[in-house]
Structure 1
Amino acid sequence: MRLSHLALAVCLFVLPIAGAATFPALAAVKVSELGDLSAMHTIVADTQALVASNDLAGAKARITEFETAWDNVANDLRAKNAQKWDAIDAASDVALEAVRADSPAATSDAALTALLAQLDNPGATNAAGVVTTDTSGKPLPCEDMLAQYRAVQPKAASLDDATKAKVADLEAKGLERCNADDDKRADDFFGQAIQLIGA
Protein backbone atom coordinates (compact mmCIF):
# COMPACT_ATOMS: atom_id res chain seq x y z
CA MET A 1 0.00 0.00 0.00
CA ARG A 2 1.35 3.42 -0.92
CA LEU A 3 2.03 5.83 1.95
CA SER A 4 -0.64 8.32 0.80
CA HIS A 5 -3.25 5.58 0.72
CA LEU A 6 -2.22 4.42 4.19
CA ALA A 7 -2.54 7.96 5.58
CA LEU A 8 -5.97 8.32 4.01
CA ALA A 9 -7.14 5.02 5.52
CA VAL A 10 -5.97 6.09 8.97
CA CYS A 11 -7.80 9.41 8.67
CA LEU A 12 -11.03 7.73 7.58
CA PHE A 13 -10.78 5.36 10.54
CA VAL A 14 -9.95 8.00 13.17
CA LEU A 15 -12.36 10.77 12.16
CA PRO A 16 -15.62 8.87 12.86
CA ILE A 17 -14.30 7.89 16.29
CA ALA A 18 -13.42 11.48 17.13
CA GLY A 19 -16.77 12.68 15.87
CA ALA A 20 -18.63 10.06 17.89
CA ALA A 21 -17.32 11.59 21.09
CA THR A 22 -19.76 14.45 20.66
CA PHE A 23 -22.83 12.20 20.27
CA PRO A 24 -23.59 11.53 23.96
CA ALA A 25 -23.84 15.25 24.68
CA LEU A 26 -26.33 15.65 21.86
CA ALA A 27 -28.36 12.65 22.99
CA ALA A 28 -28.60 14.08 26.51
CA VAL A 29 -30.68 17.03 25.30
CA LYS A 30 -34.41 16.39 25.78
CA VAL A 31 -36.31 17.38 22.66
CA SER A 32 -40.10 17.41 22.74
CA GLU A 33 -42.57 18.07 19.96
CA LEU A 34 -42.04 21.76 20.69
CA GLY A 35 -38.31 21.44 20.00
CA ASP A 36 -35.24 21.87 22.18
CA LEU A 37 -36.31 23.63 25.38
CA SER A 38 -33.05 23.00 27.25
CA ALA A 39 -32.14 26.70 27.34
CA MET A 40 -35.49 27.46 29.02
CA HIS A 41 -34.93 24.58 31.42
CA THR A 42 -31.52 25.99 32.38
CA ILE A 43 -32.98 29.41 33.20
CA VAL A 44 -35.69 27.90 35.40
CA ALA A 45 -33.20 25.61 37.17
CA ASP A 46 -30.95 28.63 37.79
CA THR A 47 -33.92 30.51 39.23
CA GLN A 48 -34.71 27.62 41.57
CA ALA A 49 -31.09 27.55 42.78
CA LEU A 50 -31.17 31.31 43.41
CA VAL A 51 -34.34 30.97 45.47
CA ALA A 52 -32.76 28.14 47.45
CA SER A 53 -29.74 30.35 48.22
CA ASN A 54 -32.09 33.18 49.27
CA ASP A 55 -30.91 35.42 46.41
CA LEU A 56 -34.44 36.65 45.75
CA ALA A 57 -33.38 39.65 43.65
CA GLY A 58 -31.31 37.35 41.46
CA ALA A 59 -34.17 34.87 41.19
CA LYS A 60 -36.60 37.57 40.10
CA ALA A 61 -34.14 38.84 37.50
CA ARG A 62 -33.51 35.32 36.17
CA ILE A 63 -37.21 34.41 35.94
CA THR A 64 -37.74 37.64 33.98
CA GLU A 65 -35.15 36.34 31.51
CA PHE A 66 -37.26 33.20 31.17
CA GLU A 67 -40.41 35.25 30.66
CA THR A 68 -38.75 37.28 27.90
CA ALA A 69 -37.31 34.22 26.17
CA TRP A 70 -40.64 32.37 26.44
CA ASP A 71 -42.62 35.29 25.04
CA ASN A 72 -40.18 35.61 22.13
CA VAL A 73 -40.89 32.07 20.92
CA ALA A 74 -44.53 31.83 22.00
CA ASN A 75 -46.05 32.11 18.53
CA ASP A 76 -43.70 29.53 17.00
CA LEU A 77 -44.21 27.02 19.82
CA ARG A 78 -47.98 27.49 19.89
CA ALA A 79 -48.07 26.77 16.15
CA LYS A 80 -46.23 23.46 16.70
CA ASN A 81 -48.60 22.19 19.38
CA ALA A 82 -51.02 24.58 21.07
CA GLN A 83 -52.00 22.13 23.81
CA LYS A 84 -48.43 21.43 24.92
CA TRP A 85 -47.49 25.09 24.67
CA ASP A 86 -50.48 25.94 26.85
CA ALA A 87 -49.44 23.40 29.50
CA ILE A 88 -46.03 25.06 29.84
CA ASP A 89 -47.52 28.54 29.67
CA ALA A 90 -49.94 27.81 32.51
CA ALA A 91 -47.11 26.43 34.66
CA SER A 92 -44.97 29.45 33.82
CA ASP A 93 -47.72 31.84 34.95
CA VAL A 94 -47.77 30.12 38.35
CA ALA A 95 -43.97 30.15 38.63
CA LEU A 96 -43.64 33.80 37.64
CA GLU A 97 -46.21 34.86 40.21
CA ALA A 98 -44.62 32.71 42.92
CA VAL A 99 -41.06 33.97 42.39
CA ARG A 100 -42.20 37.59 42.26
CA ALA A 101 -44.18 37.35 45.50
CA ASP A 102 -42.95 39.28 48.54
CA SER A 103 -41.98 36.00 50.23
CA PRO A 104 -41.45 33.60 47.32
CA ALA A 105 -39.62 30.77 49.08
CA ALA A 106 -42.81 29.25 50.50
CA THR A 107 -44.35 28.39 47.13
CA SER A 108 -41.84 29.11 44.38
CA ASP A 109 -39.81 25.90 44.71
CA ALA A 110 -42.87 23.75 44.01
CA ALA A 111 -44.00 26.04 41.18
CA LEU A 112 -40.55 26.00 39.57
CA THR A 113 -40.36 22.21 39.90
CA ALA A 114 -43.74 21.97 38.15
CA LEU A 115 -42.51 24.25 35.37
CA LEU A 116 -39.36 22.16 34.92
CA ALA A 117 -41.54 19.03 34.65
CA GLN A 118 -43.66 20.67 31.96
CA LEU A 119 -40.59 21.76 30.01
CA ASP A 120 -39.32 18.17 30.12
CA ASN A 121 -42.64 16.56 29.25
CA PRO A 122 -45.22 19.13 28.11
CA GLY A 123 -48.83 18.41 28.94
CA ALA A 124 -48.40 15.00 30.58
CA THR A 125 -48.58 15.42 34.35
CA ASN A 126 -47.65 18.06 36.83
CA ALA A 127 -44.60 17.76 39.07
CA ALA A 128 -46.55 15.90 41.74
CA GLY A 129 -47.47 13.22 39.22
CA VAL A 130 -51.10 14.34 39.06
CA VAL A 131 -52.48 13.04 35.77
CA THR A 132 -54.29 15.81 33.91
CA THR A 133 -54.96 13.99 30.62
CA ASP A 134 -56.63 10.77 29.55
CA THR A 135 -54.79 7.99 27.70
CA SER A 136 -55.27 9.78 24.38
CA GLY A 137 -53.70 12.98 25.71
CA LYS A 138 -57.01 14.84 25.93
CA PRO A 139 -57.47 17.02 29.05
CA LEU A 140 -59.61 15.43 31.73
CA PRO A 141 -62.99 17.07 32.32
CA CYS A 142 -62.26 19.89 34.75
CA GLU A 143 -65.09 18.67 36.98
CA ASP A 144 -63.08 15.46 37.53
CA MET A 145 -59.95 17.42 38.44
CA LEU A 146 -62.00 19.61 40.76
CA ALA A 147 -63.28 16.48 42.50
CA GLN A 148 -59.67 15.31 42.98
CA TYR A 149 -58.78 18.70 44.43
CA ARG A 150 -61.79 18.72 46.77
CA ALA A 151 -60.78 15.28 48.05
CA VAL A 152 -57.39 16.54 49.28
CA GLN A 153 -58.37 20.12 50.11
CA PRO A 154 -58.85 19.46 53.86
CA LYS A 155 -55.10 18.75 54.13
CA ALA A 156 -54.47 22.40 53.24
CA ALA A 157 -55.41 23.31 56.82
CA SER A 158 -51.91 22.33 57.94
CA LEU A 159 -50.13 24.58 55.44
CA ASP A 160 -48.57 27.94 56.26
CA ASP A 161 -50.62 31.04 55.48
CA ALA A 162 -48.70 31.93 52.31
CA THR A 163 -49.21 28.48 50.82
CA LYS A 164 -52.88 28.43 51.83
CA ALA A 165 -53.33 31.72 50.00
CA LYS A 166 -51.63 30.29 46.92
CA VAL A 167 -53.84 27.19 46.98
CA ALA A 168 -56.95 29.38 47.27
CA ASP A 169 -55.75 31.51 44.35
CA LEU A 170 -55.16 28.43 42.19
CA GLU A 171 -58.61 27.11 43.13
CA ALA A 172 -60.20 30.40 42.06
CA LYS A 173 -58.31 30.39 38.77
CA GLY A 174 -59.26 26.75 38.18
CA LEU A 175 -62.93 27.44 38.82
CA GLU A 176 -62.87 30.46 36.52
CA ARG A 177 -61.29 28.43 33.70
CA CYS A 178 -63.62 25.49 34.33
CA ASN A 179 -66.67 27.76 34.10
CA ALA A 180 -65.26 28.98 30.79
CA ASP A 181 -65.03 25.36 29.55
CA ASP A 182 -61.24 25.61 29.39
CA ASP A 183 -60.48 22.12 30.71
CA LYS A 184 -56.76 22.28 29.97
CA ARG A 185 -55.92 25.35 32.01
CA ALA A 186 -58.44 24.48 34.72
CA ASP A 187 -56.87 21.04 35.09
CA ASP A 188 -53.42 22.57 35.38
CA PHE A 189 -54.50 25.04 38.09
CA PHE A 190 -56.23 22.29 40.11
CA GLY A 191 -53.18 20.05 39.63
CA GLN A 192 -50.88 22.81 40.88
CA ALA A 193 -53.10 23.23 43.94
CA ILE A 194 -52.96 19.49 44.64
CA GLN A 195 -49.18 19.65 44.34
CA LEU A 196 -48.91 22.49 46.85
CA ILE A 197 -51.09 20.61 49.30
CA GLY A 198 -48.66 17.75 48.93
CA ALA A 199 -51.23 15.04 48.35
Structure 2
Amino acid sequence: MRLSHFALAACLFTLPIAGAATFPASAAVTVSELGDLSAMHTIVADTQALVAAKDPAGAKAKIAEFETAWDNAANDLRGRNAEKWDAIDAASDAALDAVRADAPAATSDMALTTLLAQLDNPGAANAAGVVTTDTSGKPLPCEDMLAKYRAAQAKAASLDDATRTKAAALEAKGLERCNADDDKRADDFFGQAIQLIGA
Protein backbone atom coordinates (compact mmCIF):
# COMPACT_ATOMS: atom_id res chain seq x y z
CA MET A 1 0.00 0.00 0.00
CA ARG A 2 1.33 3.42 -0.88
CA LEU A 3 2.03 5.86 1.93
CA SER A 4 -0.22 8.85 2.17
CA HIS A 5 1.35 12.21 1.35
CA PHE A 6 1.25 13.05 5.04
CA ALA A 7 2.97 9.84 6.13
CA LEU A 8 5.60 10.18 3.40
CA ALA A 9 6.32 13.77 4.43
CA ALA A 10 6.66 12.66 8.04
CA CYS A 11 9.17 9.97 7.07
CA LEU A 12 11.21 12.34 5.00
CA PHE A 13 11.21 14.91 7.79
CA THR A 14 12.70 12.45 10.27
CA LEU A 15 15.43 11.06 7.99
CA PRO A 16 17.90 13.97 8.22
CA ILE A 17 17.63 13.95 12.02
CA ALA A 18 18.44 10.27 12.22
CA GLY A 19 21.28 10.39 9.73
CA ALA A 20 22.73 13.86 10.17
CA ALA A 21 25.82 12.66 12.01
CA THR A 22 26.79 10.37 9.14
CA PHE A 23 26.69 12.92 6.33
CA PRO A 24 30.16 14.17 5.26
CA ALA A 25 30.80 17.91 5.14
CA SER A 26 31.30 17.65 1.38
CA ALA A 27 27.63 16.70 0.99
CA ALA A 28 26.62 20.29 1.70
CA VAL A 29 25.12 22.04 -1.29
CA THR A 30 27.36 24.79 -2.62
CA VAL A 31 25.36 27.39 -4.51
CA SER A 32 26.55 30.74 -5.85
CA GLU A 33 26.05 32.81 -8.98
CA LEU A 34 27.70 29.90 -10.75
CA GLY A 35 25.01 27.50 -9.56
CA ASP A 36 25.28 24.28 -7.58
CA LEU A 37 28.93 23.24 -7.39
CA SER A 38 28.44 20.59 -4.69
CA ALA A 39 29.29 17.66 -6.99
CA MET A 40 32.64 19.24 -7.84
CA HIS A 41 33.20 20.10 -4.17
CA THR A 42 32.67 16.42 -3.30
CA ILE A 43 35.22 15.26 -5.88
CA VAL A 44 37.83 17.68 -4.53
CA ALA A 45 37.10 16.65 -0.92
CA ASP A 46 37.48 13.00 -1.96
CA THR A 47 40.81 13.85 -3.62
CA GLN A 48 41.96 15.51 -0.41
CA ALA A 49 41.05 12.37 1.55
CA LEU A 50 43.10 10.25 -0.86
CA VAL A 51 46.08 12.59 -0.43
CA ALA A 52 45.75 12.25 3.34
CA ALA A 53 45.59 8.46 2.94
CA LYS A 54 48.85 8.57 0.94
CA ASP A 55 47.21 7.19 -2.18
CA PRO A 56 48.76 9.33 -4.96
CA ALA A 57 47.41 7.16 -7.77
CA GLY A 58 43.89 7.40 -6.39
CA ALA A 59 44.26 11.15 -5.83
CA LYS A 60 45.42 11.68 -9.43
CA ALA A 61 42.52 9.64 -10.78
CA LYS A 62 40.03 11.54 -8.62
CA ILE A 63 41.38 15.01 -9.49
CA ALA A 64 41.11 14.00 -13.17
CA GLU A 65 37.37 13.52 -12.55
CA PHE A 66 37.20 17.08 -11.24
CA GLU A 67 39.14 18.41 -14.24
CA THR A 68 36.73 16.69 -16.65
CA ALA A 69 33.66 17.99 -14.82
CA TRP A 70 35.12 21.50 -14.59
CA ASP A 71 36.13 21.61 -18.25
CA ASN A 72 32.75 20.30 -19.37
CA ALA A 73 30.97 23.04 -17.42
CA ALA A 74 33.43 25.81 -18.30
CA ASN A 75 31.45 27.57 -21.03
CA ASP A 76 28.27 27.67 -18.96
CA LEU A 77 29.99 28.75 -15.73
CA ARG A 78 32.15 31.40 -17.37
CA GLY A 79 29.06 32.79 -19.06
CA ARG A 80 27.38 33.23 -15.69
CA ASN A 81 30.25 35.11 -14.06
CA ALA A 82 33.66 35.20 -15.74
CA GLU A 83 35.45 36.73 -12.75
CA LYS A 84 34.28 34.05 -10.34
CA TRP A 85 34.99 31.34 -12.87
CA ASP A 86 38.54 32.70 -13.25
CA ALA A 87 39.07 32.61 -9.47
CA ILE A 88 38.09 28.95 -9.26
CA ASP A 89 40.03 28.12 -12.41
CA ALA A 90 43.24 29.59 -10.97
CA ALA A 91 42.82 27.53 -7.79
CA SER A 92 42.00 24.51 -9.94
CA ASP A 93 45.24 24.85 -11.89
CA ALA A 94 47.26 25.02 -8.68
CA ALA A 95 45.53 21.95 -7.22
CA LEU A 96 45.91 19.92 -10.41
CA ASP A 97 49.60 20.79 -10.61
CA ALA A 98 50.23 19.90 -6.95
CA VAL A 99 48.45 16.54 -7.05
CA ARG A 100 49.91 15.48 -10.40
CA ALA A 101 53.44 16.53 -9.52
CA ASP A 102 53.49 14.32 -6.42
CA ALA A 103 54.01 17.45 -4.33
CA PRO A 104 54.39 16.99 -0.57
CA ALA A 105 51.09 16.02 1.04
CA ALA A 106 50.92 19.31 2.93
CA THR A 107 51.33 21.26 -0.32
CA SER A 108 48.65 19.28 -2.15
CA ASP A 109 46.35 19.54 0.87
CA MET A 110 46.77 23.32 0.96
CA ALA A 111 46.07 23.63 -2.78
CA LEU A 112 42.97 21.47 -2.46
CA THR A 113 41.79 23.44 0.58
CA THR A 114 42.13 26.65 -1.44
CA LEU A 115 40.14 25.09 -4.28
CA LEU A 116 37.40 23.98 -1.89
CA ALA A 117 37.22 27.50 -0.47
CA GLN A 118 36.90 28.94 -3.97
CA LEU A 119 34.14 26.48 -4.86
CA ASP A 120 32.30 27.54 -1.69
CA ASN A 121 32.86 31.27 -2.19
CA PRO A 122 34.24 32.08 -5.65
CA GLY A 123 36.51 35.08 -5.85
CA ALA A 124 36.99 35.43 -2.10
CA ALA A 125 40.51 33.98 -1.87
CA ASN A 126 42.08 37.42 -1.63
CA ALA A 127 39.65 38.74 0.97
CA ALA A 128 42.34 38.63 3.64
CA GLY A 129 43.68 42.03 2.71
CA VAL A 130 45.65 41.26 -0.46
CA VAL A 131 44.60 43.93 -2.96
CA THR A 132 44.81 42.70 -6.55
CA THR A 133 42.81 45.42 -8.33
CA ASP A 134 42.85 49.19 -8.63
CA THR A 135 39.97 51.37 -7.44
CA SER A 136 38.08 50.77 -10.68
CA GLY A 137 38.27 47.00 -10.26
CA LYS A 138 40.85 46.55 -13.00
CA PRO A 139 43.59 43.99 -12.24
CA LEU A 140 46.86 45.52 -11.12
CA PRO A 141 49.80 45.09 -13.50
CA CYS A 142 51.16 41.65 -12.73
CA GLU A 143 54.66 43.10 -12.43
CA ASP A 144 53.43 45.19 -9.51
CA MET A 145 51.89 42.15 -7.83
CA LEU A 146 55.11 40.21 -8.32
CA ALA A 147 57.00 43.03 -6.63
CA LYS A 148 54.49 42.94 -3.74
CA TYR A 149 54.98 39.22 -3.38
CA ARG A 150 58.76 39.46 -3.35
CA ALA A 151 58.65 42.28 -0.81
CA ALA A 152 56.34 40.18 1.38
CA GLN A 153 58.64 37.19 0.93
CA ALA A 154 61.62 39.23 2.11
CA LYS A 155 59.74 40.26 5.26
CA ALA A 156 58.28 36.84 6.02
CA ALA A 157 59.48 34.80 8.95
CA SER A 158 61.26 31.55 8.19
CA LEU A 159 58.99 29.20 6.25
CA ASP A 160 58.75 25.44 6.49
CA ASP A 161 59.64 23.40 3.43
CA ALA A 162 56.02 22.67 2.48
CA THR A 163 55.04 26.34 2.58
CA ARG A 164 58.14 27.37 0.65
CA THR A 165 57.41 24.75 -2.03
CA LYS A 166 53.79 25.86 -2.35
CA ALA A 167 54.74 29.54 -2.53
CA ALA A 168 57.32 28.79 -5.23
CA ALA A 169 54.70 26.88 -7.23
CA LEU A 170 52.25 29.79 -6.99
CA GLU A 171 54.98 32.23 -8.01
CA ALA A 172 55.84 30.09 -11.04
CA LYS A 173 52.19 29.96 -12.11
CA GLY A 174 51.93 33.72 -11.63
CA LEU A 175 55.03 34.31 -13.76
CA GLU A 176 53.64 32.03 -16.46
CA ARG A 177 50.36 33.96 -16.63
CA CYS A 178 52.18 37.32 -16.35
CA ASN A 179 54.36 36.42 -19.33
CA ALA A 180 51.14 35.62 -21.21
CA ASP A 181 49.80 39.13 -20.38
CA ASP A 182 47.08 37.60 -18.21
CA ASP A 183 47.18 40.09 -15.32
CA LYS A 184 44.01 38.81 -13.66
CA ARG A 185 45.13 35.24 -13.16
CA ALA A 186 48.73 36.21 -12.48
CA ASP A 187 47.51 38.54 -9.72
CA ASP A 188 45.39 35.74 -8.26
CA PHE A 189 48.42 33.45 -8.01
CA PHE A 190 50.66 36.14 -6.51
CA GLY A 191 47.88 37.11 -4.08
CA GLN A 192 47.52 33.50 -2.94
CA ALA A 193 51.30 33.30 -2.45
CA ILE A 194 51.27 36.46 -0.32
CA GLN A 195 48.49 35.02 1.86
CA LEU A 196 50.30 31.71 2.13
CA ILE A 197 53.52 33.15 3.51
CA GLY A 198 51.53 35.33 5.88
CA ALA A 199 53.60 38.46 5.43
Query: What interval of TM-score do these two structures reach, taking the shorter chain for normalisation?
Result: 0.7 to 0.9
- The equivalent of 1:159 in structure 2 is 160
Counterpart for residue 13 of structure 2: 21
Give the C-alpha shift of residue 18 in structure 1.
Answer: 3.8
Answer whether contact 2:40 2:69 (CA < 8 A) is retained: yes
Q: Do structure 1's residue 53 and structure 2's residue 53 form an aligned pair?
A: yes
Contact 2:56 2:102 in 1 (8 A): no
Q: Does 1:168 align with 2:160?
A: no
Greater mean deviation of Cα atoms: 178-187 or 40-49: 178-187
Q: CA deviation at 1:99?
A: 0.5
Relative to structure 1, the CA distance from residue 43 to residue 139 in structure 2 (aligned partners, 3 Å threshold; closer, same or farther) is farther
Q: Does the 8 Å contact 2:132/2:191 carry over to 1? A: no
Q: Which has the larger radius of gyration?
A: 1
Q: Deviations over 1:136-186 (max 9, x none)?
A: 9936524564354233313375332x6534423422332443465533212
> CA contact under 8 A between 1:125 and 1:131: conserved in structure 2?
no
Query: What is the identity, as a one-letter code, of the residue corresponding to 1:158?
Result: L
Distance in 1 separating the partners of 2:135 and 2:37: 24
Q: Deviations over 1:84-120 (max 9, x none)?
A: 1111111100000000113441411110011001100
Between 114-123 and 135-144, report the one with greater CA deviation.
Answer: 135-144
Q: What RMSD, in angstroms, separates the aligned Cα atoms of the two structures?
A: 3.3
TM-score w.r.t. length of structure 1: 0.74
Partner of 2:75: 75
Q: Give the equivalent residue in structure 1 for 2:25.
A: none
**Which residue in the other structure is 1:95 paired with?**
95
**Equivalences for residues 1-199 of structure 1 within 5 A:** 14=6, 18=10, 21=13, 29-126=29-126, 129=128, 131-132=130-131, 138=137, 140-141=139-140, 142=142, 145-154=145-154, 155=156, 158-160=159-161, 163-178=163-178, 181-199=181-199
Q: Which amino acid aligns with 2:152?
A: V
For normalisation by structure 2, the TM-score amounts to 0.74
Instruction: Give, in whole Å, the separation in 2 of the partners of 1:157 and 1:54.
Output: 27
Contact 1:157 1:164 in 2 (8 A): no
Shift of 1:187: 1.9
Gaps (5+ residues) in structure 2?
Answer: 21-27
Distance 2:122 2:49 in 1: 22
Matched residues in 2 for 1:20 and 1:181: separation? 53
Letter in 1 for 2:171: E
The answer to whether the 8 Å contact 1:110/1:195 transfers is no
Consecutive unaligned residues of structure 1, counting only runs of 5 or more, are 1-10
What is the percent sequence identity of the aligned residues? Answer: 74
Say whether the 8 Å CA contact 1:132–1:140 is kept in structure 2: no
Matches of 1:75 and 1:114, distance apart in 2: 22
